A and B are shown apart, each in its own frame.
Chain A
Amino acid sequence: MDDLLAEFIAETREMLEAMQGELVTWEADPTDRERLDTIFRFVHTVKGSSGFFDLPRIEKLGHAAEGALADVRAGKRAADGPLINAVLATIDRIVAMVDAIDAGEAFPEGGDDEFVMALEPDAENGSEVEALIADQLNDEGRKNVVRPARSIRLPVPLLDRVMAGISDIVLVRNELARAIRHSEVDPVVSSTFDRLSTIVDDARQDISRMRMQRLEHLFATMPRLVRDLSAELGKHAMVEIEGGQVELDRELIELLRDPLMHILRNAIDHGIEKPARRLAAGKSEIGLIHISARQTGNSIIISVTDDGFGINTDNLVDRAIAAGVVTAEAAAQLPEEERIALMFQPGVSTADQVTSVSGRGVGMDVVRANIESLGGHIRVTSQPGNGTRHVISLPATLSIIPALTVKAGGQSFGIPRSYVEEIVSVKSQTLEFDQAGDTLLVKFLGQRLRCCSLARILDLEPVAGSQNAALLMIRLAGGDLFGLAVDEVIDHQELVIKPLPPSITATQLYTGSSLLDDGSLILMLYMGAIAIREGLVSDVSKSSRKSTLKGRQKAIATAEVSALLVVGLDGKRRIVRMDPVSRIQKVDSAAVRLSDEGAQVVIDGDIYPLAGTGYGPIGDGEVNLLIFSDGANHLAYAIQNVVDTIHIANAVLPGEKKGEIEGVTLFDGEAVEVLDCHWLFAQHDGQGQRTASRTCQIDEADPWVRTILRPMVEAAGYRIVDADSGEDVDIAITMGQQETMPARAGQVITLTNDPEAADHKDGVIYRYDRGTLLESLMKQQRKSA
């Protein structure tokens, strides 16, 4: 709304500026019909808009002026001096009010009626109006000189030069820092240098913010676009915008404009149905398009959601088949997600007819290419009948990309971090390589993946037998996964990317270059294009092959379960199914607490129940833990070490007694015990860390509640909610004397100081009746579980 209001203010000023001349001309020649029309249009528009924005005073003035001018236009009134004066004075007053709105000030109350009266046909002589105008000039006319937020406009090249300058300063600073480190320098020099260094860092940060612009600038044009398009297509659509204050690199904003427009066009053209159809489907007549932006970490997520018809995937698939991008057999096997992804194929359009708006077959493929070239990706999901959602994710700045620096063939390269799913050391021997024809395959999490050597892709001599060789698991935007072998992973850092000239980008290998802190240059790899060149992705003929491959792998997967082979504290090997393992973690043994009721371990400030301690003592130093997760609860399991990731191919023979061992299976010709995670969770349920789904509201102002009651409630597995938060809670505990009962609680327990007053049926419990109180809490827990 604020955006629209700002637009209204800007528009009003603009119209007025354009009209200044007209006003003067009209005053000189009141019979000039064209001028009169222009002025009439102005007051008419202002009246309309102010009605929309609920600005009754402006609306009233506008209405009066409009009425007077309409009479003049209809020839009912002559445009005499007093009338002209009154109109001009009214316009001035409207502008003064608009200025006040912009400045966020209150406009002095009252005084409007005089203006309205002056515009009446039977207004007396002009002197009154003259006085009004004079008053206005003295009182408010001059006072309302608008003072918007102070800002200046700068030419972009100057900004770029300043940025280049600061980058140079940083480089020199780094060089100087190295020099100072390596020589004996007067402490005064080095401390002064440190100060300088801090200042340079601050300046760099501020300057990099200069590149940022609010997304509002882009979003501001959307409502108009949606209005025009829907009018053209005979549909009703409204746009709702959220997150316009998110900042994005100004170049990115410009580059994002076209893809977003395209998506909006699609949403209105294909997504939103005609009003009659919407009504028939039980939706409101007006389609809603919701655009939102938010920043998460280093990336910006922009989503465009419409509540239209959704994507007709059958139709889409038919068209894709017709366009020859996929065969009918291959299409039949595609999962829904990939069927939707067909829209990104060149030449595929879902438009039933080619309109001036869309359906020309150039479309989403270009959108995807644009977004990927910005280092982002786009995903589309659709619910048939309920709408479509486009989610674009982009790096926050175009020029700074979190990247891995790697070595291949003796040279360093950068890979955008977003592509790298996992780094596996080749030395770790957990990898299984197979040669298939000319292709090297690697087995990763139960899938056989193509493995490429970066050095070979770039035609470089790989460094033989590098000790630090690693395999990067690269996840491409389309979801395809492959292994990229490098000689060494050097570091993870944020790289400032500079563009490359066309003669180098033509290689389709690099997206840019970056200067490292030591002044050396590295090239940033263009993973998307490399993958295509290496035949690793999806044109769909390939992705369908991938799907059949996936099908085969699924068949394998049902027979084989991936698992971890670990050594327990007793030194015996055990197998743990991979799925519940969320991570492997080392903690200091001091974080482990053993007691009669069970063991716990503190990890990153949370308490986890700890299992596996029964097998042997926990030594000093560090303990290896497997962290299991069932989605809601976490559990740690102590082990000596992890041996390998394996696949259980053989059946698990159930164990004889119920316990943490599910059974035994044959592995390496040996019977190895398999852990029963279900039993572990069942055993440790209700203890320790859980995502506290149950909430309890207590009055923390009471010291007894805060210090004595609260720990007990928390121990029972509740999250304490502040009384003022207005959140719904499962249970609320109040002290007897409290009058206000929290209305939004599932159950209310009242504690009393008087044992006699306790009445369990009414939920009144004596405050030291621990058993009953706990029982009530548990009962509620079971209810809500």
Chain B
Amino acid sequence: MNISVVLVELAGQRIALPSLEIDSVIEIDKITPVPGAPDYIAGLASLRSRALTVIDCVRMLGLNDYENDDYQSAVVFNCGGHDYALLVEVVEDVADATTEPVPVPGGAGEMWSKISDGLIETNVGPAMLIRTETLINSLKQKKR
């Protein structure tokens, strides 16, 4: 597999998102909260005239103790006709994946394995691959 991925840091880990699925990387300044929505929906943000649903992956992974106020960047993508923005800590770089995703040896933990497609090697080291579709589908499963 030789696809281009965007490497980001999320919950202190290196994550790879397929570049083709990513619309843009933005700085988010204002998030409108959505009362009553699950906690991993940080709220809505506007990007020009589009409304983005902002996903907080840290909450999604149930890492409630993980402290990070450093959310400024978000990766924007469209899935199923809706626009989403995934909050990330750092956007590192674009890299090429050199291997097919493989299951993490010994398992990656319940939530990680739901949102992630597996581990890939890139020219700068290993990363968890998250396909946007997998991520959004896992939201549906988590629906309460």
Residues of A within 8 A of B (CB): 164, 167-168, 170-172, 409, 411, 458-460, 498-504, 506-507, 509-510, 513, 515, 519-523
A668, chain B: closest CB distance, angstroms = 43
Contact of B46 among A500, A501, A510, A521 (CB under 8 A): A521
Report whether A503 and B37 are in contact in the complex, using a CB–CB cutoff of 8 Å.
yes
Q: Are A520 and B46 in contact (CB under 8 A)?
A: yes
Q: In the complex, which residue of chain A has the Cβ closest to the Cβ of B142?
A: A503
Q: How far is the CA of A172 from the CA of B80 in the complex (A)?
A: 27
Q: Can you pick out 26 interface pairs between chain A and chain B where the beta carbons lie within 8 Å of each other?
A: A164-B50, A167-B49, A171-B49, A459-B36, A499-B81, A500-B51, A500-B82, A501-B80, A501-B82, A501-B84, A502-B80, A502-B82, A502-B139, A502-B140, A503-B38, A503-B53, A504-B34, A507-B34, A507-B36, A509-B35, A509-B36, A510-B34, A519-B46, A520-B32, A521-B44, A521-B46
Are B48 and A411 closer than 8 Å at their CB atoms?
no
In the assembled complex, the CB of A461 is this many whole angstroms from the nearest CB of chain B, namely 10
Complex contacts, A501 vs chain B, CB 8 Å? 53, 80, 82, 84, 136
Residue of B nearest to A498 (CB): B51
> Is B32 within 8 A of A522, CB to CB?
yes
Are B51 and A513 neighbours in the complex by a CB distance under 8 Å? yes
With both chains docked as a complex, state the minimum distance between the C-beta of B76 and any C-beta of chain A, in angstroms. Answer: 13
- Which residue of chain A lies nearest to B79 when distances are taken between CB atoms in the complex? A501
- B:24-75 near A, CB below 8 Å: 30, 32-38, 41, 44-46, 48-51, 53
Q: Which residues of A contact B45 (CB under 8 A)?
A: 521
Expressed in whole angstroms, the minimum distance between the Cβ of B138 and any Cβ of chain A is 10
Measured in the bound complex, the distance between the Cα atoms of B35 and A459 in whole Å is 7
Which residues on the A side are within 8 Å of B48 (C-beta)?
167-168, 171-172
Interface of A is mostly: mixed
Q: Which residue of B lies closest to A502 (CB)?
A: B140
A515 touches B49 (CB 8 A): yes
Q: What CA separation (Å) do A506 and B139 show in the bound complex? A: 11
Question: Which residue of A is nearest B44, CB measured?
Answer: A521
Q: B143 to A506, Cβ gap below 8 A?
A: yes
The residues of B that contact A167 with a CB separation of less than 8 Å are 48-49
B32–A523 touching, CB < 8 Å: yes
Closest A residue, CB atoms, query B31: A521
* A521:B80 contact, CB within 8 angstroms: no
What separation, in Å, do the CA atoms of A501 and B54 have in the docked complex?
A: 11
- Supply 18 further A-B pairs (C-beta < 8 A) apart from A411-B33, A523-B44: A167-B48, A168-B49, A171-B49, A409-B35, A411-B32, A458-B36, A459-B36, A460-B35, A502-B82, A502-B140, A502-B143, A503-B37, A506-B144, A507-B34, A509-B35, A515-B46, A521-B32, A523-B32
* Assembly CA distance A520 to B84 (angstroms): 17
When chains A and B are docked, how far (Å) is the Cα of A752 from the Cα of B139?
A: 88
Chain A residues within an 8 Å CB radius of B44: 513, 521, 523
Contact B35 A515 (CB under 8 A): no
C-alpha spacing A502/B140, complex, angstroms: 8
* Residues of chain A with a CB closer than 8 A to B143's CB: 502-503, 506
CB contact between B37 and one of A170, A499, A504 (< 8 Å): that residue = A504
Name, among A459, A501, A513, A515, the residue most crowded by chain B CB atoms within 10 Å (CB to CB): A501
User: CB-nearest residue of chain B relative to A512?
Assistant: B51
* Set A164, A458, A499, A520: member contacting B49, Cβ < 8 A: A164
Cα distance A168–B46 when bound, in Å? Answer: 11
Q: Across the interface, which residues of B come within 8 angstroms of A502, CB to CB?
A: 80, 82, 139-140, 143
B140 engages A504 (CB within 8 Å): no
Q: Which residues of A contact B50 (CB under 8 A)?
A: 164, 498
The closest CB in chain A to the CB of B48 belongs to A168
- In the complex, chain A residues whose CB is within 8 Å of the CB of B34: 504, 507, 510, 523
Contacts of A172 in B (CB 8 A): 48
In the assembled complex, the CB of A173 is this many whole angstroms from the nearest CB of chain B, namely: 11
Distance to closest chain B CB from A74 (angstroms): 60
Minimum C-beta distance from B107 to chain A (A): 26
A684 to chain B, nearest CB (A): 54
Closest to A157 in B: B81
